[in-house]
Amino acid sequence: MNWPSALLAAVGAALLVACSPAAEPERPPVPDQSLTQAPQAPKPVVLTEEAEKTRDELLSHARAGSLSRLSRVANANDGFVSNLGGTPHRQYWDLMRRIGADPNRSLRELFDLPPGMREIDGEVWFVWPDLAARDASDLIPEKLSFQDRRRLMELIGEEGIERIRQGEGYPGMRTAIAGNGRWVYFVMGETEED
């Protein structure tokens, strides 16, 4: 390339830059709208009439201390799960009571906590505690509010949080009732079932 062509190319490039519209000045980043508002309490989960009826029946049996009645309700619900080992519900709960983990007291305590809601295969499930209804990736403490972080620690401790960090689901005691009133599960926590 000779010098007149190089000069012409340089002048053309300079004109192009000079005639281009000015770049917009950088704006300061604006936080997402959710970050500029005060935290809002989640809307309370409203149980269906059928789920509320089942919860009330289970609470009645748990308050009476009747593992037999709880077991009858469990057996009447297809696919109900109380443990991962396949032990009959009554036998498993009796064993748990003998080692100091009273299923009646545990169920009453669960129903004192707020429920969460989850959809499984098109069916609505009400899950106690509400934190157990969340996906494992949403339970990582850094993603939770300070209040939920504290509650999670109280429910499952450091060991449970470490399991969540490794990708496992909620490892603590939990129960679920489907929207149609079917009692889905009541597990005392994975540590008892390992």
44 lies in some domain = no
Q: Is the residue at 102 inside a domain?
A: yes
Residue 190 — φ and ψ, nearest 5°? -65, -25
Residue 18 lies in a domain: no
Token pair in block for residue 30 = 């604006």
Beta-carbon contacts of residue 131 (< 8 Å; ≥ 6 apart): 116, 139, 148, 151, 152, 155, 170
Q: Report pLDDT digits (tens) over 16-75.
A: 555 555 556 666 665 555 555 655 666 789 999 999 999 999 999 999 999 999 999 999
Contact between 129 and 23 under an 8 Å Cβ cutoff? The reply is no
Q: Which domain holds residue 86?
A: 62-134+170-188
Domain count for the chain, please give it: 1
- Give the global pTM: 0.76
pLDDT tens track for 102-150: 999 999 999 999 999 999 999 999 999 999 999 988 999 889 989 999 9
**Residue 94 falls inside a structural domain:** yes
In a domain, 176, yes or no: yes
pLDDT number for residue 193? 37
